[in-house]
Amino acid sequence: MKQMKNKWLTFIVSGLVLTGMVACGGSKKDPNAPYTPKSITMVAPSDAGGGWDKTARSITKVMSETKLVSVNMSVENVPGASGAKFLASYLAKDVGNDSKLFVNSPPILINNLKKDGSPSGYKDVTPLAALTQDFGVIAVRADSPIKDIKELIAKIKADPAKINIAGGSSPGSMDHLIALLPLHRAGVDITKVKYLPFDGGGKAIVALLGGEADALSSDASGISEMAKAGKVRVLATTASARLPAPLDQVPTLKESGIDAEFLIWRGVFGPKDMSASAYKFWQNALKELSAKPEWQAELKTQGWNGDYKDGEQFKAYLAQQEAVIKELLTTLDLAK
């Protein structure tokens, strides 16, 4: 009887230990388990209307229409601090959440490199693929007396306090750099330039059209519809050659005598500890997406250039871009 009692005690204690292990996380997610999300969220770390938002919506639209993803895909907008607010929340709350991805561009590098910027960057997440190229633009309202980029630079150089430049990112971030780069190369004291930061390109455009700002620094895809509608005059692009219509009549900075270019890539990222099966799924899915005629049509509609790089190629490219941006920020005295 005593022997049987001891066996029962051993069984109960073992059960309690096992329960404690499970409660404390003893049953960890198998990194090689099949990737079977119930739904997928693609985050745009900005308000609606900007380049990140359009990229996220284009990806989810084409992937759903072409059945590359069989579950529901949705877009979530999380604005704040040029994407830094979302990244901090993502790293804190979405560890191992393979069903939540996000789009980003140079700000994931810039925010990590600039003074008082984010402590985290692309090395804290998983680069999945680069998909598009875009370029910066400097624009004014259609009724502005400023006719070209040289005239804008001359006005700012003469009296920086009289010209406000709006952008959809925080000081030291992408839209700010797009504005400062040609001014810096033209000899303007960029410490006196008045830059108005907004959470997303959509709000920056509203500020320009409403008269709150005199000029706008943005991306070509984000401003093309306004240019086509005749609401803005684009003074210059940061591309190496002229862009397609409706921006085909807009000179590049180099054509305007300013030695400056700025490329805006956009790509998809996931959590740092993404499972092997999820990573493999997205490598295949995003590669297939880049080759779909529906995606090519979306690129044309949005005014983007296709620029597919798989996860490993993207990671190597980010390392190269990090060095270039660090040099630019250092030149502008904005680096850490």
pLDDT per residue as tens, the chain (336 positions): 444 444 444 433 333 333 333 333 333 556 668 999 999 999 999 888 878 999 999 999 999 999 999 999 999 999 988 889 999 999 999 988 999 999 999 999 999 999 888 999 999 999 999 999 989 999 999 999 999 999 999 999 999 989 999 998 878 888 999 999 899 889 998 889 999 999 888 899 999 999 999 999 998 988 988 999 999 999 999 998 999 889 999 999 999 999 988 889 999 999 999 999 999 999 999 999 999 999 999 998 887 889 999 999 999 999 999 998 898 888 888 899
Q: Answer for the pair 100, 90: CB distance below 8 angstroms, yes or no.
A: yes
Q: Which of 164, 98, 106 is nearest to 136 (CA)?
A: 106
Q: Which domains does the chain carry?
A: 40-134+264-331 (3.40.190.150), 135-237 (3.40.190.10)
Q: Answer for the pair 186, 220: CB distance below 8 angstroms, yes or no.
A: no
Report CA 168 to chain centroid distance, whole Å: 12
> Looking at this protein, which amino acid is placed at residue 152?
L
Q: Where are the beta strands (DSSP E) in the chain?
A: 39-44, 72-77, 100-104, 125-141, 164-167, 194-197, 215-219, 232-237, 263-271, 305-309
User: What gap in Å lies between CA 181 and CA 186, rounded to an integer?
Assistant: 9
Only one residue has tokens 């810039």, namely 110
**CA dihedral angle for residue 42, residue 45, residue 50, residue 54, rounded to 10 degrees:** -10
Q: Which of 145, 136, 157 is nearest to 216 (CA)?
A: 136
Give me the pLDDT at residue 33, please.
Answer: 82
SS3 (DSSP) at 314: helix
Q: Which two tokens stand for residue 217?
A: 């620094």
Q: Answer for the pair 269, 128: CB distance below 8 angstroms, yes or no.
A: yes
Q: Answer for the pair 203, 219: CB distance below 8 angstroms, yes or no.
A: no
The string of DSSP codes covering 19-71 is: HHHHHTT-SPPPTTS----SEEEEEESS-TTSHHHHHHHHHHHHHHHTTS--S
SS3 (DSSP) at 283: helix
Give me the pLDDT at residue 27, please.
Answer: 38
Q: Answer for the pair 125, 132: CB distance below 8 angstroms, yes or no.
A: no
Give me the pLDDT at residue 317, please.
Answer: 95
